[in-house]
Amino acid sequence: NSVENHFSLPPTDTEPVVLKVPFVIGVAGGTASGKTTVCNMIISQLQNQRVVLISQEAFYHPLTAKQLEKVHDYNFDHPDAFNTELLLSCMENLKHGRAINIPNYDFKEHRSIEPPRVVNPSDVIILDGILILHDPRIRDLMNMKIFVDSDSDVRLARRIRRDTLERNRNIQNVLDQYAKHVKPGFEDFIHPTKKYADVIIPRGADNDVAIDLIVQHIRTKLGQHDLCKIYSNVFVIHSTFQI
């Protein structure tokens, strides 16, 4: 680990205002690999921290009327399906301690619905999504990168169950979309991002041991990360960590 500190001394009678720089964790993996469950398991073990989960799905571009007419041709498993610029600007605001509104995406409507979700600045921000490790600018924001690696047959079975029960799809559509876009998208764009992960979790959310180890690591890093405080305009300790 390397830690670099830059100090400037405060006036003696000023009480510093402390803003923590958030610790950002990225969780990627194929469709229905258990990303959300892994995130929730991590969150439930980080009780003394303010933790927020932001899903990449909130940043899907809304479909135009023309695209909606041919929704079965639309590729939701391609990096261009996401508004990454919006995600970057949201992260920039959170990093500077400002609350943000993020779109509330509806998989039945293929667009965001009202009201948007308010996200407050937090100690830990978990970003999850199939392609969250794809863009280097998003990866650069992350202190820890995780890839949830579940078998593709297990994922397909879960996807069929979930899409028919929760996303208003029929089995034939799910299988067609899987063959046309989801499987090629995994092979061409999602699986190649595994190489950026610091930790790969085999068997996804069934892997309690991996999740315990990850949580222990996050707790240790958060202890160190607390050094990284911005005392508004008065006292600055700037730290750079390499994990």
- Residue numbers of the site for ligand CTP (CB under 6 A)? 29, 31-36, 57, 60, 76-77, 107, 110, 130, 182
The token pair that represents 147 in the structure block: 């890839």
Q: Return the beta strands (E) in 110-154 as ranges.
A: 111-119, 124-128, 144-149
Residue 75 Cβ, how far from ligand CTP at the closest point, in Å?
8
Q: How far is the CB of 144 from ligand CTP (least distance, A)?
A: 18
Look at the block and give the residue holding tokens 């803003």. 19
Residues 6+ apart with CB under 8 A from 227: 3, 5, 237, 239
Extended beta strands in 44-169, E state? 51-55, 100-106, 111-119, 124-128, 144-149
CA dihedral sign, ordered 162, 182, 198, 127: negative
Q: How far is the CB of 99 from ligand CTP (least distance, A)?
A: 24
Which helix (H) or strand (E) covers residue 29, if one does? strand 23-29
CB of 137 to ligand CTP, least distance (A): 21
Query: Please, which residue, 21 or 27, has the CB nearer to ligand CTP?
Result: 27
Dihedrals φ, ψ of 106, to 5°? -115, 115
Q: Which is nearer to ligand CTP, 162 or 217 (CB)?
A: 162
Is the distance from CB of 129 to CB of 35 less than 8 angstroms?
A: yes
Distance, in Å, from the CA atom of 133 to the CA atom of 196, rounded to the nearest integer, reads 7
Which 8-state DSSP code applies to residue 141?
Answer: T
> Please, which residues have CB within 8 angstroms of residue 106's CB and are 6 or more apart in sequence?
112, 113
Write down the least CB distance from residue 121 to ligand CTP, Å: 23
Residue 22 CA to residue 64 CA, distance in Å, equals 35
Least distance from C-beta 87 to ligand CTP, angstroms? 15
Q: How far is the CB of 117 from ligand CTP (least distance, A)?
A: 15
